[in-house]
Chains A and B, each alone.
Chain A
Amino acid sequence: MTESLLSLDHVSREFSTRHGRITAVDDISLEIGRGDILCLVGESGSGKTTVARMAAGLLEPTRGAIRFEGRDLRQTSKDEHKAYRRAVQLVHQDPYASLNPVHTIGDTLRAPVLHHKLVKGRREATERAAELLTQVDLTPPQNFLSKYPHQLSGGQRHGHPLALNPRLIIADEAVSMVDVSIRVSILNTMLKLRNELGVAFLFITHDLAVVKYFGWEGYVGVMYVGKLVEYGRTPQIIGRPLHPYAKALAAAIPEADPDLTRAKEKLQLRSLDIPNLTALPSGCVFHPRCPYFVAGLCDEVVPQLVDVGDGREAACHVVSRERGKEAAA
Chain B
Amino acid sequence: MVSKTGRRASAMTNGAGGNGHLPDDVVLSIEDLWVEYQTPAGQMQAVRGANLQIRTGESVALIGESGSGKSTLGLALLRLLVRTARVSKGRALFRTGDGRTLDLFSLGKDELRRFRWQECAMVFQAALNSLNPVLKVGDHFVETARAHGERDDRQTRMRALELLRMVQLDAERVVSSYPHELSGGMRQRVSIALSLLLEPQLIILDEPTTALDILTQRAIIDVIRSLRQRLSFTMMFISHDLSLAAELADRVATMYAGELVEVGNVRDVFYKPKHPYTVGLLNAVPPIAGEEFTPLTAIPGSPPNLLAMPSGCSFHPRCPYATELCARQVPPLFAIGDGHVAACFHRDRVTRSLDVWEVATT
* Inter-subunit contact B284/A258 (CB<8 Å): no
Tell me if A184 and B298 are in contact (CB < 8 A): yes
Binary per-residue interface labels of chain B (267-291) against chain A in the complex, 1 for a CB within 8 Å, 0 otherwise: 1001100000000111011111101
**A209-B65 Cα distance, complex, nearest whole Å:** 19
Decide: B286 and A210 in contact? CB cutoff 8 A.
Answer: yes
Interface size class of A (residues with CB under 8 A): 35 or more
Q: Does A235 contact B (CB under 8 A)?
A: yes
Bound-state Cα–Cα, A272 to B214, Å: 11
Q: Which of B191-224 contact A (CB under 8 A)?
A: 213-219, 221-222
Asked if A249 CB lies within 8 Å of chain B CBs, one says yes
A317 CB, nearest partner CB in chain B, Å: 21
Verify A256–B285 contact, CB threshold 8 A: yes
Pair B240/A254 contact, Cβ less than 8 Å: no
Q: Which residue in chain B gives the minimum CB-CB distance to A252?
A: B218
Give the chain A neighbours of B3 by CB distance below 8 A: none
B302 nearest in chain A by CB position: A153
Q: How far is the CA of A273 from the CA of B222 in the complex (A)?
A: 16
Docked-complex contact B288 and A184, CB < 8 angstroms: no
Q: State in angstroms the CA–CA spacing of A321 and B187 once bound together.
A: 39
Report whether B246 and A261 are in contact in the complex, using a CB–CB cutoff of 8 Å. yes
Those of A148-173 within 8 Å (CB) of chain B: 153-156
Q: Does B155 contact A (CB under 8 A)?
A: no
Contact partners of B266 in chain A: CB under 8 A: 258
Structural contact, A213 and B215, CB atoms closer than 8 A: no
- Which of B291, B293, B297 has the most A CB atoms < 10 Å from its CB? B293
Query: What would 7 more interface pairs be, CB under 8 Å, given A253-B288, A254-B217?
Result: A43-B213, A179-B240, A187-B296, A255-B289, A256-B246, A258-B247, A258-B267
Task: Name 16 A/B residue pairs within 8 A (Cβ), A-sorted.
Answer: A43-B214, A156-B302, A179-B65, A180-B242, A180-B284, A206-B214, A212-B288, A213-B286, A239-B291, A253-B218, A253-B288, A254-B246, A256-B282, A256-B287, A258-B266, A260-B289
Binding site for A on B (CB under 8 A): 65-66, 168, 183, 185, 213-219, 221-222, 240-247, 249, 266-267, 270-271, 280-282, 284-289, 291, 293-294, 296-299, 302
Interface residues of A (CB under 8 A from B): 43-44, 153-156, 179-185, 187-188, 206-210, 212-213, 216, 235, 238-239, 248-250, 252-262, 264, 266, 269, 272-274
